[in-house]
Amino acid sequence: MTATFPAGVQVLPSVMSADLLRLGAQVDALVGAGARVVHVDVMDGRFVPNITLGTGTAAALAGPVRAAGGLLDVHLMVERPGLAVDLFAPHAGAVSVHLEADPHPHALLQQIRAHGCLAGLAINPGTPPEAVAELVDGLDYVNCMGVNPGFSGQAYIATTPGRIARLRDLLPDRVRVEVDGGIGPANAAEARAAGADLIVSASSIFGAPDPVAAYRGLVALVGA
């Protein structure tokens, strides 16, 4: 059976900015506050310079998030993503791969769905949104990057809302649009208005003195 995203606008805490010594408690608190999709960034030091979370972290998070009826959204920023899909999909409900990372995105999307996961394509700020048009049938969501992937806490790129709107125009309603990178109180509502309904945030939630309050603030701003 294929996973489904919860209906309606969702704010997705991105755990790469969590306090890793208190990861479980922080995620439990956010799930308690209503978060049902938790974003997990996987970086290999090759597709992007940074190296982040692995299969052990995804496996540890999957239990409590699934117990609450939620799912992990695993964002693979890696070369040869097909290898990583098979490692991470068992812990995930949704997996996105970068269009720029592999010459065979059509096959990768099929590979993700074969695991019963929602299949996503992430696109860098320099990739035209129209590049996903041929892949619509195999797609469940598009992750429109608001920064160049690799690090949390970067400044939001101003062309992002226009790119979200172009995606929303070309995609059927069933394909969700995610925005990831640079999102905070100053721009979350604008990204939502442009057409994103999966709103990812790392530093504006986990960098806040009270991550639950920051999450609730974003939820209120985007009408989730």
Asked if 222 and 188 touch (Cβ cutoff 8 Å), the reply is yes
147 binds, options ligand DX5, Zn ion, none, Cβ within 5 to 8 A by partner type: ligand DX5
The dihedral over CA atoms of 152, 192, 7, 16, expressed in degrees to the nearest 10, equals: 0
Closest distance between ligand DX5 and the C-beta of residue 14, in Å? 4
Asked if 197 and 8 touch (Cβ cutoff 8 Å), the reply is yes
H-helix or E-strand spanning residue 11:
strand 10-13
What is the chain's length? 224
The question of whether 173 is a catalytic residue gets the answer no
The question of whether 169 is a catalytic residue gets the answer no
Does 76 bind ligand DX5 (CB under 6 A)? Our answer is no
Candidates 73, 102, 180, 197; catalytic one: 180
Beta bridge partners of 13: 201
Candidates 41, 44, 102, 140; catalytic one: 41
By CB under 5 A, name the one of 44, 47, 75, 78 that touches Zn ion: 75
218 binds, options ligand DX5, Zn ion, none, Cβ within 5 to 8 A by partner type: none
Whichever of 20 and 67 has its CB closer to ligand DX5, that residue is 20
Place of tokens 């990768």: 108
H-helix or E-strand spanning residue 76:
strand 71-77
Q: Which positions from 105 to 134 touch ligand DX5 by CB under 6 A, shown as an x/- string?
A: ------------------------------
Closest distance between ligand DX5 and the C-beta of residue 159, in Å? 16
Mark residue 215 as left, alpha or beta (left: phi above 0; alpha: psi -120 to 50; beta: remaining). Answer: alpha
For residues 139-198, which are near ligand DX5 according to CB under 6 A?
A: 147, 149-150, 152-154, 180-183
Does 98 bind Zn ion (CB under 5 A)? Our answer is no
CA separation for the pair 59, 68 (Å, rounded): 15
Give residue number: closest CB to Zn ion. Answer: 75
The answer for residues whose C-beta is within 8 angstroms of residue 49's C-beta and 6 or more apart is: 150
Whichever of 174 and 191 has its CB closer to ligand DX5, that residue is 191
- Where do contacts with Zn ion occur on this chain (CB under 5 A)? 41, 75, 180
